[in-house]
Amino acid sequence: MKEEIEAGATLVREFDRYAPIKAAFWLKASDDPYRYLYLVSDRIDDIGTSEPYGEVWRLTTQIDSPDLDAFRVKLIGGKHPLALAAVDLLKDFPNPRGIRSGWKWFGGRSVDDLYVYPLPLPAPVS
């Protein structure tokens, strides 16, 4: 999971230049076999997802990490229940290293695993 978090952080930084990120998190829902990286931006509410998913595809190809799959990235607007839960969590529990949660319920979903990135993200370690 550490490698996914690091690769995801690179995508979050790059995508933020395209559409300001309000929250970003990895979530493994209880009813889904896969973990997904969620990128939250109010711009998604404004323009939809077609063009932004093209940007995700471009960036994941550019990043070229085996720990980051464009098909495991979900884009959601700031009004989505998961987005609201992530933003609230960041406000209530600010942590410069991110938030790893074993909570079983998040944004109206039953979850097995959750990692919420701190925002703004610290600079990458060289």
CATH number of 36's domain: 3.30.460
Pairwise pLDDT comparison (100 vs 38), residue with the higher score: 38
| Residue 54's pLDDT band (cuts 50, 70, 90) | very high
Q: pLDDT tens across 65-111, in order? A: 999 999 999 999 999 999 999 999 999 888 888 998 877 899 999 99
How many domains is the chain built from? 1
User: Is residue 20, in this structure, part of any structural domain at all?
Assistant: yes
- Is the pTM for the entire model greater than 0.85? yes
User: Is residue 126, in this structure, part of any structural domain at all?
Assistant: no
User: Is residue 112, in this structure, part of any structural domain at all?
Assistant: yes
User: Is residue 98, in this structure, part of any structural domain at all?
Assistant: yes
Full DSSP string of 63-122: H--TT--GGGEEEE-TTSHHHHHHHHHHHHS--TT-EEE--SEETTEEEEEEEE--SSPP
Domain around 27: 2-116
